[in-house]
Amino acid sequence: MPLTGAQAGYGNDFVTGMRMAVKDVNDAGGIAGRPVELVTLDTQAEPQLGINAVNRLIGVEKMPMVLVAWSSVVKAVAPICNREKVLEINTGANSPEIATLGDYVYTAFPLAEVDITKLAQYVYQTLGKRRAAVLYINNDTGIDAAKLYRDTFTKAGGQVVAFEAYDPKATEFTGMLLKTRAANPDVVHLHGLTADTPQVIAQMRQLGLTQQITTYSAGYNPKLIEQCGPAAEGLIVTSLAPGVQENANVAPFLERWKKEVGRVPNGLPYVQYQYDMIPLAKALYDHVDKKGQPATGDTLRDALVEIRTFDLPMTGKMVIDGHRVNKPVYLLTVKKGAFVPLATLS
């Protein structure tokens, strides 16, 4: 996980969610009476650092399974996990290519084809938007998802009048935004990361682009509202995890988080998935233990495929369908400085 660098706000909260789950599992007796230990290494969301971390987890720590997030890192470490027969589980990246990375790479997080497809259809069919601009970060997170939004919106009958990429290290977006303004879209879909998304939104509003903005679940972050202020009003974001209204476990978890951390989590839906990775791992290890097998990448992968359906405390029912999972998509919008439910797309 990125524990330092631009994505550390998310990465550290991801790990905090996992550590809470480790405590809960251990308080309940661990796995077959043995305590769970979480070994965490910093990737800074950079592929090479991810490769270094996974090589250490496999070569030094002798891990049979690794939990990884951020699309570029998930992709970078996949050849190593396939070669070494170590189970890699994606816990929060959304690139559709993750479903094709090999026999030892699985996802427990819905990929962009789930929420981006439904979002683009909703924008056309329900919001009645006909001309869209798509702005995206030029990396593994943005490229595939932007193409997916463009193709889905176009197939529905809409027109993508601007399709603009920006550098991951950029802080100035005027050129791209002036092109977007000239194209005169009805709606702007923005697919970036937590550091750049608020900057793009703020600069859009400064340049007079008043169109509705949509984004994916990375935008569901209270810090975005803090940074953008009134510029965030009307923003539509996706969530792939149930909220307090859909899952009775979420409200107590939020209260516990506020008590222990002193604030709400960055990217609550993502944090819910990170928490659930520990009960999921427990289920895999329990399955292997009951069979009297050693915990290896092969036996844990077989357990994942054999169990297939998991009832998880924070995200609910999860069905592993090959190398994909499907979930309802919850839409939220920013109203009076807060995220409020907008629609559920099943």
Residue ranges per structural domain of the chain: 8-110+249-314, 113-239+329-345
The whole-angstrom separation of Cα 192 and Cα 335 is 21
For residue range 279-317, list pLDDT tens digits in order: 999 999 999 999 999 999 999 999 999 999 999 999 999
3-state secondary structure of 275: helix
Q: Name the pairing type of β-strands 87-90 and 131-137.
A: unpaired
The CATH number of domain 113-239+329-345 is 3.40.50.2300: yes
* Residue 4 CB neighbour total at 10 angstroms: 13
Per-position DSSP letters for 226-268, written without gaps between them: HHHGGGGTT-EEEESS--TTT-TTHHHHHHHHHHHHSSPPTTH
Give the start-end residues of each E strand in 149-307.
159-166, 187-191, 212-214, 236-239
pLDDT at 24: 98
Q: Do residues 342 and 245 lie in contact, with contact meaning Cβ atoms separated by under 8 Å?
A: no
The chain-wide mean pLDDT, for the chain, equals 96
Q: What is the pLDDT of residue 223?
A: 87
3-state secondary structure of 193: coil
Type and span of the H or E element at 303: helix 297-307
Buried b (16+ CB within 10 A) or exposed e, 253-289: bbeebeeeeeeebbbbbbbbbbbbbbbbbbbbbebbb
Second CATH level (architecture) for the domain 8-110+249-314 = 3-Layer(aba) Sandwich (3.40)
Give the pLDDT of residue 32: 85
Q: Is the pTM of this model over 0.85?
A: yes
pLDDT tens per residue, range 124-168:
999 999 999 999 999 988 999 999 999 999 999 999 999 999 999
Angle ∠(123,129,134) on CA atoms, nearest 5 = 70
Torsion of CA 210, 213, 219, 220, to 10 degrees: 100
For residue range 41-74, what is the model confidence (pLDDT) as tens digits? 999 999 999 999 999 999 999 999 999 999 999 9
Euclidean distance between CA atoms 155 and 153, whole angstroms: 6
